[in-house]
């Protein structure tokens, strides 16, 4: 028997990772410097906070409630000048960046309207460039405001799900900081975080949890003392990782927000710790490496990993160039404590025991009730092959690889199945044979997160950049008929449930005749057949595109012009609804009596209407031109 548990911190060899972190400089946080930008001095309520887990990114600021309405005054948080203005129908919507003398930048987003001087400046630029959506960079002395002056009015623009102000604090290097650490008394919080779920997982073929390999979700309960525990017994061996689901609440609101800090102690030694203090804005999407991405996408439950994946470059961890995994090699009881804090210091504690055990499950096999069949799961580098409804005849398997066949014994048995484990680093199998059952695989190569990798075959070329991946990926390719396009194919690269960080490049080798070739684009296809436009271009019979998704891809032609629906007019305005599928709207433009006129756009409802702040009577012929992303155009005219 070994005498104790070993906490292993494994150095990750990510090229350029240390350089990125060592060069990163963060500012000291000045408490009391900034004014709260909405209803300062009054109690305010949050719909979202810094570090909250969103669908594809960490939330980078505060979502301040605005009483379910728009038009509340937004105040300059400190003296400064406007450095950037974005007018957009997507993302942050109408947004202001303001630079302050202490080196910080405040960001105000989803705005309805801007303060009149700033609004006039932006409107002139929109007319000069003949565009509604515009990005403007201003000089230091162009437009200044003092602390507490109104700079805009709150709204619901961009991808906002309801009226609120999105407020961020950054520095001039575009690092984001947790606004709740700046000393705003407008937010009240004496409620400790809540731990709602927990899971534990294995990391190599020798690791076990209650005798099994894989990931096990555990039932969490809150004791009368206020300390959380789990209802399950945990016997474990080998490399393990803990994941938890946790959220926070503030006084006076039911919204479930993100937590500030998570710490894991094993036998009173810290194995993991992160704090949401600051991080580079560009790393917000690394949430996909911080959470269990597949579980979030398939089950809708977000678990935060209490270990760090190879490609995760977030700067929120205590030891950024290490990844924390627990190694148990004994048969002792080990005390685990998880501490969770919010930004106001409220703490929640969970305690449980992991007992060391290197025994694999060895349950007697029951009489099968159905025919045996194979099911396969992939856990990073480990292939888990289950023979369901198995008998003793299914305890050995042949793993076939190019030029070699290996015999493998089952790793353990459950009452209704035998389980085999194969480390893909030992070779990528073509198939596995178990007593007459055959499972074929589509593995092509093993991709590393820090390497440029290419794959070529008769149907497709793929080029992965150096930092495309968060973690090691066994590349799998599948081709199936595209039932929506004559002789076309569905090109599948792994699946949607694997996250990636940056674009990679794909070339489709199109062998069939393609109708309406000039109207074709690449699309990523969901399981229900929905399409998301990716674009691309032809090079003879090759079609090139880039994407940040894994999954199914198709080449489709869109020959239908955008839809323009007239919704009504007054002497002062006219309103339309515009839409297009599958390519989507690329641009719209309108003239009144031959002169370009500014329209506002609200993409959530597909609405456009004339920007007419002075309520001038509009007369003459209005011509609206709407173009989609593959060049189909719709022209609509009416008399005003």
209 φ/ψ angles, rounded to the nearest 5 degrees: -125, 115
Cα separation, 78 vs 626, whole angstroms: 41
Query: Dihedral of the CA atoms 168, 169, 170, 175 (nearest 10)?
Result: -70
Residue 367's alpha-carbon distances to 374, 385, 397, in angstroms, are 17, 20, 20
494 φ/ψ angles, rounded to the nearest 5 degrees: 50, -135
pLDDT digits (tens, 9 = 90+) for 170-180: 999 999 999 99
Instruction: Please count the other Cβ atoms lying within 10 Å of the Cβ belonging to residue 405.
Output: 12
What's the whole-model pTM score? 0.91
Encoding tokens for residue 506?
């794909």
Closest CA to 447 of 426, 421, 429, 465: 465
Order of strands across the sheet with 595-596?
595-596, 585-592, 621-628, 633-639
Which pLDDT belongs to residue 155?
Answer: 97
Cα separation, 94 vs 155, whole angstroms: 9
Query: Dihedral of the CA atoms 314, 317, 319, 324 (nearest 10)?
Result: -100
Which pLDDT belongs to residue 7?
Answer: 38
Which pLDDT belongs to residue 134?
Answer: 97
Encoding tokens for residue 405?
């066949």
Instruction: Please count the other Cβ atoms lying within 10 Å of the Cβ belonging to residue 137.
Output: 10
Answer yes or no: is pLDDT of 17 > 90: no
Encoding tokens for residue 46?
């949050």
pLDDT digits (tens, 9 = 90+) for 65-77: 999 999 999 999 9
Cα separation, 363 vs 374, whole angstroms: 19
Residue 181 DSSP class: G
Question: 23: pLDDT confidence band, cut at 50, 70 and 90?
Answer: very low
Q: Which residues of 603-621 are buried (b: 16+ CB within 10 A; e: fewer)?
A: beebbbbbbbeeeeebeee
> What average pLDDT does this structure show over 515-520?
95
Answer yes or no: is pLDDT of 4 > 50: no
Answer yes or no: is pLDDT of 18 > 60: no
Which pLDDT belongs to residue 286?
Answer: 85
- Assess contact for 124 and 143: CB atoms under 8 A: no
Question: 5: pLDDT confidence band, cut at 50, 70 and 90?
Answer: very low
- Assess contact for 133 and 67: CB atoms under 8 A: no
Question: 323: pLDDT confidence band, cut at 50, 70 and 90?
Answer: low
Question: 1: pLDDT confidence band, cut at 50, 70 and 90?
Answer: very low
Average pLDDT, the chain: 92
Which pLDDT belongs to residue 322?
Answer: 47
Per residue, what are the HEC states of 572-601? CEEEEEEECCCCCEEEEEEEECCEECCEEE
Which pLDDT belongs to residue 11?
Answer: 30
pLDDT digits (tens, 9 = 90+) for 549-591: 999 999 999 999 999 999 999 999 999 999 999 999 999 999 9
- Assess contact for 620 and 609: CB atoms under 8 A: no
pLDDT digits (tens, 9 = 90+) for 435-468: 999 999 999 998 888 889 999 999 999 999 988 9
């Amino acid at each position: 028997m070994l005498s104790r548990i070993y906490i292993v911190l494994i150095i990750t060899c990510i090229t350029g990772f240390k350089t990125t972190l060592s060069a990163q400089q963060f500012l000291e946080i000045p408490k009391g410097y900034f004014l709260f930008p909405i209803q300062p001095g009054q109690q305010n309520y949050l719909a979202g906070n810094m570090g909250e887990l969103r669908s594809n990114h960490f939330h980078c600021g505060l979502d301040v409630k605005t009483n379910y309405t728009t038009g509340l005054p937004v105040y300059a948080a400190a003296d400064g000048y406007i450095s950037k203005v974005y007018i957009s129908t997507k993302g942050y919507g109408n947004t202001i960046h303001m630079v302050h003398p202490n080196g910080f930048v405040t960001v105000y987003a989803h705005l309805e309207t801007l303060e009149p001087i700033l609004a006039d400046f932006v409107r002139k630029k929109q007319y000069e460039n003949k565009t509604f959506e515009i990005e403007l960079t201003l000089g230091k002395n162009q437009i200044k405001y003092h602390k507490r002056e109104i700079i805009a009015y709150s709204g619901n623009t961009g991808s906002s799900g309801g009226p609120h102000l999105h407020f961020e604090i950054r520095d001039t290097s575009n690092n984001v900081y947790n606004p709740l650490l700046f000393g705003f008394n407008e937010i009240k919080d004496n409620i400790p975080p809540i731990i709602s779920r927990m899971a534990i997982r294995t990391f190599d073929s020798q690791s076990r949890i209650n005798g099994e390999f894989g990931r096990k979700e555990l039932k969490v309960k809150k004791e009368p003392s206020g300390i959380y525990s789990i209802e399950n017994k945990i016997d474990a061996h080998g490399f393990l990782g803990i994941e938890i689901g946790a959220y926070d609440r503030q006084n006076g609101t039911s919204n479930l927000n993100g937590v500030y800090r998570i710490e894991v102690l094993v036998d009173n030694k810290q194995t993991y710790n992160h704090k949401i203090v600051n991080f580079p804005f560009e790393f917000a999407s690394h949430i996909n490496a911080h959470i269990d991405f597949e579980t979030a996408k398939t089950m809708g439950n977000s678990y935060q990993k209490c270990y760090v994946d190879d490609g995760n470059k977030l700067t929120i961890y205590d030891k950024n160039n290490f990844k924390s995994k627990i190694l148990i090699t004994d048969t002792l009881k080990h005390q685990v404590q998880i501490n969770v804090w919010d930004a106001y210091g409220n703490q929640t504690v969970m305690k449980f025991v992991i007992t060391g055990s290197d025994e694999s499950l060895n349950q007697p096999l029951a009489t099968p009730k159905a025919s045996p069949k194979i099911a396969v799961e992939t856990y990073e580098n480990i292939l888990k092959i289950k023979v369901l409804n198995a008998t003793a005849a299914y305890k050995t398997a042949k793993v076939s690889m190019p030029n070699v066949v290996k015999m493998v014994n089952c790793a353990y048995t459950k009452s209704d199945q035998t389980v085999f484990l194969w480390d893909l680093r030992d070779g990528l199998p073509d198939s596995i044979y178990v007593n007459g059952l055959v499972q074929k695989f589509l593995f092509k190569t093993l991709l590393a997160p820090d390497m440029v990798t290419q794959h070529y075959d008769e149907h497709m070329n793929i080029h992965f950049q150096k930092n495309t991946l968060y973690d090691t990926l066994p590349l799998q390719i599948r081709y199936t008929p595209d039932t929506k396009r004559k002789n076309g194919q569905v090109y599948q690269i792994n699946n949607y449930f694997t996250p990636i960080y940056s674009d990679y490049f794909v070339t489709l080798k199109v062998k069939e005749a393609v109708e309406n070739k000039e109207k074709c684009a690449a699309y990523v296809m969901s399981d229900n057949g929905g399409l998301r436009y990716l674009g691309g271009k032809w090079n003879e019979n090759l079609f090139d595109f880039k994407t940040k998704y894994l999954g199914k891809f198709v080449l489709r032609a869109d020959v239908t012009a955008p839809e323009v629906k007239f919704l009504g007019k007054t002497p002062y305005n006219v309103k339309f609804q515009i839409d297009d599928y599958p390519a989507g709207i690329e641009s719209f433009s309108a003239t009144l009596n031959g002169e370009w006129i500014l329209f506002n756009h609200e993409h959530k409802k597909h609405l456009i209407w004339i920007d007419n702040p002075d309520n001038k009577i509009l007369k003459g012929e209005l011509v609206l031109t709407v173009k989609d992303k593959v060049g189909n155009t719709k022209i609509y005219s009416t008399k005003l």
